[in-house]
Amino acid sequence: MTALQRLFKFNGGVKPAYNKEASTRLPIAVAPTPTLLVIPLHQSIGGMPRPLVKPGERVLKGQRIGGADGNVSSAVHASTSGTVIAVEMRLMPHTSGLSAMCVVIEPDGRDEWIPHGPFDFRGATPMQIHDYLRDSGVVGLGGAVFPSYLKLNPGKQRNLDTLVLNGAECEPFITCDDVLMRERAATILQGALIMRDMLGAGEVLIGIEDNKPEAIAAMEAAAHAVKTAAGESSIKLVSVPTLYPAGGAKQLIRVLTGIEVPHGKRSTDYGVQCFNVGTAYAIFEAIALGQPLISRIVTVAGNVGQPRNFEVLLGTPMRDLIALCGPLPDSDRVIMGGPMMGLRMPDDSVPVVKAANCVLVGSRGLFPPPPPEMPCIRCGECAKACPADLQPFELYWFARAKIFGKAQEYDLFDCIECGCCAYVCPSHIPLVDYYRFAKSEIWARELAKVSSDEARERYEFRMLREEREKQDHAAKLAAKAAARREKAAAAKTDAAKETATPEQDEKKALVAAALERVRAQKEQIQPENTINLTPEQVAEVAAIETRRAEIREMAKPHVWQDD
């Protein structure tokens, strides 16, 4: 079934030590249900789902506890049955150490499913499929956790040429896709066929790095079985050369089809859509079994006695998972993901989430601190290694000098942060950190610009409104004055027709009235204490004034004169 397929190359790439063998010796084990599940509401790209449960509420396995909010958002579910004991801020599996809203569930041990069943997507309207997938919480399980319903995009079939299934799994240490393909190949293919039908794709290309012969064999056998049973011949398995980051979606699409999808463009514009094999498996479970995404395969590897893959309930603390593998005493960090792109966890209590393909235990021995950073000597190794064909050292100079405009001109945002440049750098410069810094600075500035634009618009609107109100007020006054004028004119025409024109009379009358008002005001504000005094009072005031003058004289500073 591995038909002769013309392969393409992407530039760059590196070959780090793969370290995959140790965690593939044992089959997938089911991780035990922990004593407490902490399920973050925000587990995918996009909007934070709204909590749908309250503390004290009993939930069933597969029950929706977070509802998708906004156009890009994906639901989250209770991983087992139990009682919600809190909906509160908890530490997130992210390097920042920030907290976010989580639903904390105390499992009751009964593991009782909510009623569920298959979903007939062929008989459903596109909107129903859209909502169903959104509410089943399926997101990209390769690590990007982009909501899958948006990529499957029901109702907007473009009749794609190719569905690419990503089984490359190029990051060192991670083997969750490898073992999934070895053990559950048939299910993955079922999921792939569902996705193909939703997308209306012509062929399914499954790319697997050639360092996974067992997975390739298992998938081939499953594809053969599908072919003989259902006459399904659209599935093609392709063994791709092992080269990090061949598993990057754009890199894999390039290798399999020769198409380069530019930054900011969708692969569907080029007739291709790409999903991880784990996502295909989750789609099958959601559509054919009606089970939302409540667990995933997680590789536990690194500084542990027995690395292994587990099927883990989402929300399981990483610490519980690591304990199953016997962490070695010199372990000093937990990384979510692989050594090239993984995130360092703030501590080992953070929960397994949909993005957690690997829990990598580190130590100083395994991941030694980098040697001291040296200046860039422009050797160009980074440019040779960059799979996005960037000039990483130029980006480094611009990021370092905070010339962010230039950095964008040199396509900073095409950087996929794969780490190849930093991996090969002989000066040990943490290049990716510089790019992350530059990107976040640019985002912050854009946000600041947006908010200052909004502030300016608000201000301008206020000025406009005040001006309008002033004009309205003036118009009212003018109307009133006109009315009064008419009245006065009407009164005067009879009395003083011969002596003056009505306008002059009116002016005189107005002036006289104004003078009268001023006189009246002056009378009102006359000091009350110094008028109408008796002669005794006047004398007393004069005496007081004299004393004050004396005191003022005494208080004057003395001027000493030299003799």
Partner 1 sequence: MNNSPYVLKPASVQSVMLRVLVALLPGIAAYVWFFGAAILLQIALASVAALAAEALMLALRGKPLMLFLTDGSALVTAWLIALSFPSIAPWWLTVLGTLLAIIVAKHLYGGLGQNPFNPAMVAFALMIVAYPQLMSQWPAAGTTDFAGQWQAIFGTRPLDAISMATPLDALRTALHTAEAKASVAGVLGSNPAIGGIGGKGWEWVAAGYLAGGLWLLQQRIISWHMPTAFLAALCAIAGVFSLIDNTQFAGPLFHLFAGGTMLGAFFIVTDPVSGTTTPRGKLIFAAGVAALTWIIRTFGAYPDGIAFAVLLMNIGAPLIDLYTQPPVFGHKDKREDSR
Residues that bind partner 1 (CB under 8 A): 10-11, 14, 16-17, 95, 172, 250, 254, 260-263, 265, 333, 335, 337, 339-344, 362, 367, 369-372, 374-381, 383, 387-391, 393-394, 409-411, 414, 419, 422-428, 430, 432-433, 436
Give the nearer residue to partner 1 in terms of CB position, either 14 or 321: 14
User: Which residue shows structure tokens 């005191």?
Assistant: 551
Question: How far is residue 315's CA from residue 354's CA, in Å, rounded to a whole number?
Answer: 9
Tokens for 369, please give them.
């601190």
Give the nearer residue to partner 1 in terms of CB position, either 209 or 381: 381
Give the nearer residue to partner 1 in terms of CB position, either 139 or 335: 335
Least distance from partner 1 to the Cβ atom of residue 359, Å: 14
Give the nearer residue to partner 1 in terms of CB position, either 310 or 423: 423
Is 310 within 8 Å of 31 (Cβ atoms)?
yes
Question: DSSP 3-state assignment of 166?
Answer: strand
Burial of 488: CB neighbours in 10 Å, binned 0-12, 13-18, 19+: middle
Least distance from partner 1 to the Cβ atom of residue 373, Å: 10
Give the nearer residue to partner 1 in terms of CB position, either 96 or 529: 96
Count the neighbouring beta carbons within 10 Å of the beta carbon of residue 222. Answer: 21
Give the nearer residue to partner 1 in terms of CB position, either 164 or 388: 388
Least distance from partner 1 to the Cβ atom of residue 423, Å: 5
Question: DSSP 3-state assignment of 404?
Answer: helix
Give the nearer residue to partner 1 in terms of CB position, either 436 or 485: 436
Least distance from partner 1 to the Cβ atom of residue 335, Å: 7
Least distance from partner 1 to the Cβ atom of residue 374, Å: 5
Q: By C-alpha distance, which of 237, 238, 210 is closest to 224?
A: 237
Question: DSSP 3-state assignment of 114?
Answer: coil
User: Which residue shows structure tokens 């005189």?
Assistant: 508
Burial of 437: CB neighbours in 10 Å, binned 0-12, 13-18, 19+: middle
Question: How far is residue 385's CA from residue 391's CA, in Å, rounded to a whole number?
Answer: 10
Q: Identify any residues that bridge with 39 across adjacent strands, giving them in sequence order.
A: 103
Least distance from partner 1 to the Cβ atom of residue 311, Å: 26
Q: By C-alpha distance, which of 203, 232, 238 is closest to 220?
A: 238
Least distance from partner 1 to the Cβ atom of residue 298, Å: 18
Least distance from partner 1 to the Cβ atom of residue 184, Å: 29
Q: Identify any residues that bridge with 299 across adjacent strands, giving them in sequence order.
A: 309, 358
* Alpha-carbon distance values, 278 to 71, 275, 479 (Å): 24, 8, 76
Give the nearer residue to partner 1 in terms of CB position, either 266 or 508: 266
Least distance from partner 1 to the Cβ atom of residue 339, Å: 4
| Sequence-separated (6 or more) residues with CB below 8 Å from residue 48 | 41, 42, 69, 73, 100, 101
Give the nearer residue to partner 1 in terms of CB position, either 13 or 315: 13
